[in-house]
Structure 1
Amino acid sequence: MKDNADRLLESVVEKVMKSSHIESPSPDFTKMVMSYVSTKSTATVYQPLISKTGWLIVFGIATAFVIYVYLSTGTDTSEWFEAIDFYVIATTNITNFFSKLKLEQVTSYAMLVFGLMLCAQIPILKYFIDKRQRKFS
């Protein structure tokens, strides 16, 4: 049954192909397409978000601020520095916090495998991204 259907389909396709005629484009088709493409395409020019003069202004303001702060403060401490309570930082013992933390052995292994897989994936992803960029440039 399938062979008969295939033969019938083949004969129909042959009849359609014989009755159709080949269409060809006009003689200046390529010239018209190329002129259309060349007029429509424009190159994208890279423009940074902050120009060089903008960076120079930001750098100059930051430098002026650092110089102002350095020259305006003497050897004495300023008021805002005295308002910070460093006693909380000095009395907090971070090692005590981590010593109370108990991890199961399975969790430790899972974290170790996750870290190793992450370290393995970074060079692989970098290779594929570099390969894709080379293909488009």
Structure 2
Amino acid sequence: MNEQTDKYLDQLAKKVMKDAPLETPSFDFTNTVMSQVSGLSHNKVIAYKPLISKTGWIFILVGFLILVFFVLFGNQTSSSGWLNTIDFSMFSNNGIAQALSNFKIPSFTISKTLTYAIVLFGVMVCIQISFLKHHFNQRFEN
């Protein structure tokens, strides 16, 4: 019974295809489709922009070179500068330093270089957070 249904459907399909006229698109079909395609809104593509521009890298490089030349050729005498007015004794007079002194480490002190590095690291982290926040706010607004 299934074969008879298949034969009937096959004959019906052949008859419909034989009687159906051949459809052709209009003369300006391509132009009509292309005008509709060009009328569609284009998706906005986010172009790559580096976080630090070339001029920013130049300023960073110049600042680094100035710092290197100052360290190498600058005045090596220790004078009372603006950083000497800050009391850093809390770094050396804390519980960790006292606990380490109980373990027979009498000369545990934090050097000026390490103190400067810690302060500079904190400042740089704060600056970087503000730049990244501004960058991502601009990125999500577009």
Task: Tell me if TM exceeds 0.5.
Answer: no
Greater relative contact order, per chain length (Cα 8 Å cut-off, separation 6+): 2
Structure with greater helix share of residues:
1
